[in-house]
């Protein structure tokens, strides 16, 4: 079956599955190793002369099904699955860079990625420059002869900045630089960066792809050639996804379109509610016309997702009071699941950086990140209202 002409939901339900013996769901191959009937067969698989499975750290049929499905959804030639988003990101970067190379990255990245770039990679003589990737002039100025990778997130977390993907890809191609986009907050339902010329797409599948706050996983999508190289690194570093987690991810993906429709609707409705509320100073949501890059977001994206950030009129204590008084929304630091989660970036994702760094990134004491779930929007709004009334 070719998937290009099918709709997103059809791809999500059927894409990548190779079912046998009347089974409707892909089975969980919960085995760490595979047996052979002959040495010749073993040699053929180990030397990659024939397709087959040898050892689950290398590859596994349930893991392979999830990789094929996500490749169909992202429109990439292939994909590789990892035990976490961080395993996906670090294995990708270690595949792409060597001693003496230079990386240009967004300064608004997820904390774990930033730590890897700023603290681990420099130990291997890899130089990093952090810029505001929403401003392509800064990217252009940072590029050097030894730049191998440009790395960004879309939308960024928690202030939801957008990168112009076509222009970023064109700029990088001119200098033979590989572009890597962490598209966790967008998901392939809302955005497919590869269509804009981006080389590699990474996801924390722990978020929307898994979608139920019950699985930790990572995904990388790219060309067949790159994924082959990446899998060689994965084999050594060992961050392959476990078959049980792969199966949960596979199940979560089947409802991705349905969930994203609701996340998008909740995002829009709650951003609009917050923008009008007298106790709210500022709302960050790319779907709002007041977002500085709304036109670019509209051009690139099908929907704007379920993350809405906002500043409360008040101080740190009042913001603590607000998140603690929420009854339906849970005080928890993730996103993309069925449950609505609220956090203050100052006490979670950006807790370990200095106040000066926070100020640079627009992370104030009054900032709240709401990762909307798929509950009824009226109930989420009622919860926000009652908590705002108390401050
Ligand atoms: C945008 C983004 N990328 C990567 C990660 C890391 O993913 P994981 O927690 O699955 O390792 C996160 C985690 O919050 C994230 O928000």
Q: How many CA atoms lie within 13 A of 282 on its CB side?
A: 16
Residue nearest to atom 16 of ligand 1 (CA): 110
Residue 3 lies in a domain: no
- Which one of the listed residues 29, 110, 208, 285 is annotated catalytic? 110
**CA 103, CA 98: separation in Å to the nearest integer?**
11
End-of-domain residue from the set 212, 234, 254: 254
Does 100 share its domain with 145?
yes
H helices, E strands: number in the chain: 15, 12
**CA 77, CA 108: separation in Å to the nearest integer?**
28
End-of-domain residue from the set 254, 280, 301: 254
Q: pTM for the full model? A: 0.97
Our answer to whether residue 151 is catalytic in this structure is no
Helix axes 61-74, 243-254, angle to 10 degrees: 30
Q: How far is the CA of 175 from the centre of ligand 1 (A)?
A: 29
Does 232 share its domain with 298?
no
Q: Which atom of ligand 1 is nearest to the CA of 185?
A: 1
Residue nearest to atom 13 of ligand 1 (CA): 204
Does 92 share its domain with 208?
yes
pLDDT for position 69: 98
Does 30 share its domain with 72?
yes
Question: Considering the chain, what percentage of its residues have pLDDT values greater than 90?
Answer: 93
pLDDT for position 257: 98
Q: State which residues form the domain around 366.
A: 256-389
Does 237 share its domain with 322?
no
Q: Is 187 in the pocket of ligand 1 (CB under 6 A)?
A: no
Does 319 share its domain with 214?
no
Q: Is 349 in the pocket of ligand 1 (CB under 6 A)?
A: no
Q: Is 157 in the pocket of ligand 1 (CB under 6 A)?
A: yes
DSSP E strands: which ranges in the chain?
78-82, 102-106, 127-131, 147-153, 178-182, 200-204, 218-222, 280-284, 307-312, 330-331, 341-343, 367-371
CATH number for the domain that contains residue 223: 3.40.640.10
Q: Which two tokens stand for residue 383?
A: 């919860």
pLDDT for position 353: 84
Q: Which atom of ligand 1 is nearest to the CA of 113?
A: 4
Three-state DSSP class for residue 109: coil
Our answer to whether residue 110 is catalytic in this structure is yes
Termini Cα distance of the chain: 56
Q: Is 110 in the pocket of ligand 1 (CB under 6 A)?
A: yes
Q: How far is the CA of 178 from the centre of ligand 1 (A)?
A: 21
- CA angle, 151 as apex, 147 and 156 as ends, to 5°? 150
User: H-helix or E-strand containing 31?
Assistant: none
Q: How far is the CA of 111 from the centre of ligand 1 (A)?
A: 9
Does 181 share its domain with 239?
yes
Q: How far is the CA of 97 from the centre of ligand 1 (A)?
A: 21
Residue 1 lies in a domain: no
Residue 250 lies in a domain: yes
Three-state DSSP class for residue 152: strand
Does 327 share its domain with 279?
yes
Q: How far is the CA of 68 from the centre of ligand 1 (A)?
A: 21
Our answer to whether residue 57 is catalytic in this structure is yes
Q: What DSSP designation does 328 have?
A: S
Residue 76 lies in a domain: yes
Statement: residue 3 has pLDDT above 80 = no
Does 260 share its domain with 250?
no
Residue 320 lies in a domain: yes
CATH number for the domain that contains residue 312: 3.90.1150.10
- Is residue 122 within 8 A of residue 150, CB to CB? The reply is no
Does 70 share its domain with 124?
yes
Banded model confidence at residue 4, pLDDT cuts 50, 70, 90: confident
Domains held by the chain: number: 2
Digit-coded pLDDT (tens) for 249-282? 999 999 999 999 999 999 999 999 999 999 999 9
End-of-domain residue from the set 221, 237, 254: 254
Digit-coded pLDDT (tens) for 160-206? 999 999 999 999 999 999 999 999 999 999 999 999 999 999 999 99
Q: What DSSP designation does 347 have?
A: G
Does 32 share its domain with 149?
yes
Does 261 share its domain with 228?
no
What integer best gives the mean pLDDT of the chain?
96
Q: Is 249 in the pocket of ligand 1 (CB under 6 A)?
A: no
């Amino acid at each position: 079956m070719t998937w290009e002409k099918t709709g997103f939901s059809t791809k999500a339900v059927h894409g990548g599955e190779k079912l046998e013996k009347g089974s409707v769901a892909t089975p969980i191959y919960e085995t760490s190793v595979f047996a052979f009937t002959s040495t010749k067969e073993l040699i053929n698989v180990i030397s990659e002369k024939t397709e087959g499975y040898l050892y689950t750290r290398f590859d596994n049929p349930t893991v392979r099904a999830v990789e094929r499905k996500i490749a169909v959804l992202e429109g990439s030639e292939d994909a590789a699955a990892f035990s976490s988003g961080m395993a996906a990101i670090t294995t990708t970067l270690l595949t792409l860079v060597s001693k003496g190379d230079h990386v240009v990255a967004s300064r608004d990245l997820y904390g774990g990625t930033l730590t890897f770039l700023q603290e681990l990679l420099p130990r291997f003589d890899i130089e990093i420059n952090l810029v505001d990737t929403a401003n392509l002039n800064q990217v252009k100025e940072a590029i050097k002869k030894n730049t191998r990778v440009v790395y960004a997130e879309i939308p960024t977390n928690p202030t939801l900045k957008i990168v112009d993907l076509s222009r970023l890809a064109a700029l990088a191609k001119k200098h033979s630089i590989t572009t890597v986009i962490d598209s966790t907050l967008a998901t392939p339902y809302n955005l497919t960066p590869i269509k804009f010329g981006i080389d590699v797409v990474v996801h924390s599948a722990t978020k929307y792809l898994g979608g139920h706050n019950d699985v930790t996983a990572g995904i990388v999508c790219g060309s067949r050639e790159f994924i082959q190289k990446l899998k060689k690194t994965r084999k050594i570093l060992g961050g392959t996804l476990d078959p049980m987690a792969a199966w949960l991810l596979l199940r979560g993906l089947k409802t991705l379109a349905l969930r994203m429709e609701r996340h998008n609707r909740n995002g829009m409705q709650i951003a609009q509610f917050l923008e009008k509320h007298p106790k709210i100073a500022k709302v960050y949501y790319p779907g709002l016309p007041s977002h500085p890059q709304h036109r670019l977001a509209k051009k690139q994206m099908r929907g704007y997702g379920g993350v809405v950030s906002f500043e409360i009129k008040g101080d740190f204590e009042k913001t603590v009071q607000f998140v603690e008084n929420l009854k339906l929304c849970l005080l928890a630091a993730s996103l993309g699941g069925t449950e609505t989660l609220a956090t203050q970036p100052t006490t979670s994702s950006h807790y370990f950086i200095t106040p000066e760094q926070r100020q640079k990134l627009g992370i104030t004491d009054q900032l709240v990140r709401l990762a909307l779930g798929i509950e009824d929007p009226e109930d989420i709004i009622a919860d926000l209202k009652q908590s705002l009334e108390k401050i």
